[in-house]
Amino acid sequence: MIPSDATLTETGLAPAGTGRVLVIACGALAREILALKAAGGWDHLDLACLPAILHNRPGKIPAAVEAAVAEHQASYETIFVAYADCGTGGMLAETCARLGVEMLEGPHCYAFFEGNAAFAARDEIDAFYLTDFLARQFEAFVVKPLGLDRHPELKEMYFGNYTRLVYQAQTEDAALTERAEAAARYLGLAFERRVTGYGELGRDLSRLATRTPGSGRSSP
């Protein structure tokens, strides 16, 4: 059973069968994956999301992913885990290897959106990152969990070593850009907008979705 704080949200699951693919993803990637699915016409690809708030306790991600795989593995030819390491310290990779399922490469979504090699080459230790999801959910996923709404004096403690906020834009959305700029002002950081698109998430899902049926069994 999936823990109570890791409830699985299933999006458009269809009757499974030969050639069907299930992506088990972080909820923070739901919009992006559904957009890629629609653009690619990948009707054989289904999506099941775990709550994005698990990132606040990444040690729980591997168990939640394993439970989701166990629930669905008999019904799908291929299961793919749309998480990077995401703070699990290698535990998620070990879990996926044991289960025989593939996952996204890289340390986190900021890296695979920009491209893991390009992100590593930048070595931006002074940058705080937002994606489209975090621009939308800045208050729910940054301000409130860190207690900044109750104790604004903590901003200096948490963000004093950052000099800028980098907004990695997956889409062209003026409203999200405004939100990201507002977040930078709130934190007292310089603002930079960097268009990444879907990065390696798009590349990997395209490869997954266009495999020949019968060639991509990834569940034990």
- State whether 102 and 47 are in the same domain: yes
- State whether 16 and 97 are in the same domain: yes
The verdict on residue 25 lying in a domain is: yes
Inform me whether the pLDDT recorded for 217 exceeds 70. no
Give the mean pLDDT of 145-163: 96
- State whether 88 and 137 are in the same domain: no
Inform me whether the pLDDT recorded for 14 exceeds 60. no
Give the mean pLDDT of 7-20: 56
- State whether 121 and 144 are in the same domain: yes
Comparing 147 with 123, the larger pLDDT belongs to 147
- Residue 211 confidence class, pLDDT cut points 50, 70, 90: confident
- CA–CA dist 12, 41 (Å, integer): 14
- State whether 125 and 102 are in the same domain: no
Average pLDDT, the chain: 90
- State whether 48 and 26 are in the same domain: yes
pLDDT at res. 212: 53
Q: Structural domain of residue 175, as residue ranges? A: 116-195
* Cα dist from 63 to 4, 8, 99, 103, 144, whole Å: 12, 12, 12, 15, 26
pTM of the entire structure?
Answer: 0.86
The verdict on residue 175 lying in a domain is: yes
- State whether 62 and 149 are in the same domain: no
Dump pLDDT digits (tens) for 173-202. 999 999 999 999 999 999 999 999 999 999
- CA–CA dist 37, 45 (Å, integer): 7
- Residue 5 confidence class, pLDDT cut points 50, 70, 90: very low
CATH code (residue 102): 3.40.50
Dihedral in degrees, nearest 10, Cα atoms 160, 164, 167, 168: -100
The verdict on residue 36 lying in a domain is: yes
- Residue 17 confidence class, pLDDT cut points 50, 70, 90: low
Dump pLDDT digits (tens) for 18-58. 689 999 999 999 999 999 999 999 999 999 999 999 988 99
